[in-house]
Amino acid sequence: MKTITIIIRTLIGLLLLFVSIGYFLKLMPEPVTTGDFKAFDLGLVSSAYIMPIAKFIELLCGLAFIFDLYVTLASILILPIILNILFLDYYLTPEAMPIAIFLFLGNFFLIYKHWDNYKSLFARK
């Protein structure tokens, strides 16, 4: 089970790192958007701060997953971004669903593996 955890953590980390570095260094061409996704993308781009913040968080969490540092924190920090990716893909770009499902399930697997670290967050005081 430890090997599976390392593989999933590393794959998620590499994926997050690849996407965030590609965004900041403009390594990938801008995707062609149409319809509702074009309107959504235009809103994100025109906000001028949401995408850089999201990509910076992806970069930090990707590094944390790859180097096995602060994985508990990184899993919780990246969860809202992964949920947004999942819902965006489900409603607007269903062809990208497999990657979103992998990110979502992989992150929940990591949360499950580190559940002892989260117990104090849910303790009733």
Tens-place pLDDT, residues 32-57: 777 777 777 777 778 888 888 999 99
Where does the chain have alpha helices with state H? 2-24, 35-47, 50-67, 71-91, 97-113, 115-118
Q: How far apart (Å, rounded) are the C-alpha atoms in residues 74 and 60?
A: 8
pLDDT (tens digit per residue) in 72-122: 999 999 999 999 999 988 988 888 899 999 999 999 999 999 999 998 888
CA distances 93 to 32, 33, 34, 65, 83, Å, are 12, 10, 10, 26, 14
pTM of the predicted structure, to 2 decimals: 0.86
Q: Delimit the domains of the chain by residue range.
A: 2-122
Q: How many CB atoms lie within 10 A of CB 58?
A: 24
